[in-house]
Amino acid sequence: MPRILIVDDHPSFRATVRTLLTADGFEVVGEAADGASALEAIGELRPDLVLLDVQLPDMDGFAVIDAILRLNGHAPKVVLTSSHDASDFGSIVPRCGAAAFVPKAELSGAALRAVLR
């Protein structure tokens, strides 16, 4: 199973997703509450997949993806998530470099497995 980093500014959402994914056999290696912490955690934890909220307090998820794509060496796959629909962000979602967008209401182990195939 891939090693996952959860990035979201809501602690309750991170805890819920950790429980959901762990129960579904995924290994959650860490959590981050903002973009800067996410980038630091990627360097330290080297996850295979980053589950990344679009709206973070210090930078948006699209800026985080840009920074991930500029990393030398380890660049994990990124799955964007939001309480909004992908269409709410216009044409940026398909062009941003994320492997997929999964609305928070549809997040599941099965949805992540589909992305990783």
User: What CATH number should be reported for the domain holding residue 11?
Assistant: 3.40.50.2300
Q: Which domain holds residue 8?
A: 3-116
Report the domain count for the chain.
1
Spans in the chain with pLDDT lower than 70? none
State the Cα–Cα distance between residues 72 and 3, nearest whole angstrom: 19
- What's the pTM value of the predicted model, to 2 decimals? 0.94
Nearest Cα to 26, choosing from 112, 101, 103?
A: 112
Give the count of beta carbons closer than 10 Å to the beta carbon of residue 83.
Answer: 13
One-letter identity of residue 57: P
Instruction: Please provide residue 17's backbone torsions phi and psi, each rounded to the nearest 5 degrees.
Output: -65, -40
Tell me the per-residue pLDDT of 25-49, one tens digit each, with 9 for 90 and over.
999 999 999 999 999 999 999 999 9
